């Protein structure tokens, strides 16, 4: 896996775990009609979710999709770039 992609997925994983808090994956997924296998793979940093899934996860946490993306961005290294320059 590309290092930059890995960094993004790890950041997403941390954010989703933090936002979910003490709630179990099962309960979170059941309450929000999200596949537990998707959340499980996202939280392990091995699933690159579709944009629609990002929107659904954001809605489940009662935040805007751009806020979720912002939280993910804040977990990335300071000079992170996905484009090789």
Domain ranges (residues) in the chain: 3-74
Burial class (CB in 10 A: 0-12, 13-18, 19+), 62: exposed
pLDDT for position 2: 87
The pTM is what?
Answer: 0.90
Q: Is 45 left (phi over 0), alpha (psi -120 to 50) or beta?
A: left
pLDDT for position 47: 85
Q: Which CATH class is domain 3-74?
A: mainly alpha
Confidence of residue 1 (pLDDT cuts 50, 70, 90): low
pLDDT tens, residue by residue, 5-56: 999 999 999 999 999 999 999 999 999 999 999 999 999 999 899 999 999 9
pLDDT at 75 over 60: yes
* Residue carrying structure tokens 């936002």: 19
């Amino acid at each position: 896996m590309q290092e930059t992609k890995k960094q993004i997925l790890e950041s997403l994983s941390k954010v989703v775990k933090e936002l979910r808090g003490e709630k179990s994956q099962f309960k979170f997924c059941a309450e929000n009609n999200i596949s537990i296998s998707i959340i499980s793979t996202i939280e392990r940093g091995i699933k690159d979710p579709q944009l629609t899934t990002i929107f659904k996860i954001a809605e489940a946490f009662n935040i805007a999709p751009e806020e979720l993306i912002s939280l993910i961005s804040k977990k990335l290294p300071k000079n992170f770039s996905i484009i090789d320059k």
